[in-house]
Amino acid sequence: MEARISVVMTVYNGSTYLREAVESILNQTYKNYEFIIIDDGSIDNSSEIIKEYAQNDKRIKLISRPNKGIAETLNEGVTIASGKYIAIMDQDDISLSNRFENQVNFLDKNPDYVAVGTFPELIGPEGDRISCLFQITGHENIDNEHMKGKGGAIMHSSVMIRKESLMKISGYKKEYNQAADFDMFLRLAEIGKLENISEVCFLHRVHPDSAGNSARAQQQSNAFKAVFAACERRNIVKPKLTSKPNLKSITENDMYLKWAWWAFNGKNFSTSMKYAMKVLFKRGYSIEAIKIIILSFLNYFKHV
């Protein structure tokens, strides 16, 4: 039986979280899929890990070759995919077991939609639940956020896309590099509708080595270039960008404080205390970290 879904996962030195990511796909309630994993020139043991799983599951198709970059690798996976739908998966995230079932049902029932994501819950490097941040539904709301230069309205690694639609827009453009997915959503929105399923079916991991941290400046700059290009295609004279690209690098302490506040707002008080404590251990003193710890401690006992 031909697979209805082609799962495409690109891997580059992803051994730390790779097993959790692969197993979350293998544990889906929806079983009719092929699993295309492209090892994009890893120098760790990612390829060996994938081979272990491929030996026990014939749905896994492993391609190993020298590094070509994220956009070209995604296009390679899409090109060889045989499924009607393309499910994107990242090497460090976790798909909950009902993700594919929900997304296939949505796309089957809504032919005017070209892609559907799912609400993501953020988790930390060690799997701590942080918060469900991006809860946007409705095509116009999602596209409007993108046209303001804001990412996260639909999580790329949670998305399922109609292959024919992705081929119609010629896939991902490598000139946008780490923001190739952002540009892809803008172009998809010009031929069909985007949506998010109003349920958490996906865990998105934040960690120091993720693209959102390591390539933050380039990612934001290229996202804004994609918005300007979309404005030209749509004959919009003045793009409504929310801000200029933030080219300032983020420190490890800044990152921990951000996660701590997200966890606090998500009522995950033990997690917010954990990351605030990390700041104190590294810095020795931080008024903001102490504030988070006190607030988290007081609220923790209110909710137990």
pLDDT value for 304: 54
Max alpha carbon distance in the chain (Å)? 61
| 50-58: Cβ within 8 A, 24+ apart | 50/11, 50/18, 50/22, 53/22, 53/26, 57/26
Q: In angstroms, rounded to a whole number, what is the distance separating the alpha carbons of residues 208 and 249? A: 12
Q: Are 94 and 122 in contact (CB under 8 A)?
A: no
**220 CB-near residues (< 8 Å, 6+ apart):** 149, 179, 245, 246, 247
pLDDT 10s digit of each residue in the chain, 304 long? 689 999 999 999 999 999 999 999 999 999 999 999 999 999 999 999 999 999 999 999 999 999 999 999 999 999 999 999 999 999 999 999 999 999 999 999 999 999 999 999 999 999 999 998 768 999 999 999 999 988 889 999 999 999 999 999 999 999 998 899 999 999 999 999 999 999 999 999 998 876 555 566 788 889 999 999 999 999 987 666 655 555 566 788 999 999 999 999 999 999 999 999 999 988 778 899 999 999 998 997 776 5
Residue 142 φ/ψ, nearest 5 degrees:
-65, -50
Q: In angstroms, rounded to a whole number, what is the distance separating the alpha carbons of residues 296 and 17? A: 28
Q: Model pTM?
A: 0.92
Extract the runs of DSSP E, i.e. beta strands, from 124-159. 129-131
pLDDT value for 237: 73
Element (H, E) at 197: strand 193-205
Q: Angle at which helices 15-26 and 46-56 pack, to 10 degrees? A: 20
- Residue whose C-alpha is closest to residue 197's, from 84, 106, 94, 133: 106
- Residue whose C-alpha is closest to residue 66's, from 91, 31, 41: 41
Give me the residues paired with residue 5 across strands: 33, 85
Q: Are 249 and 279 in contact (CB under 8 A)?
A: no
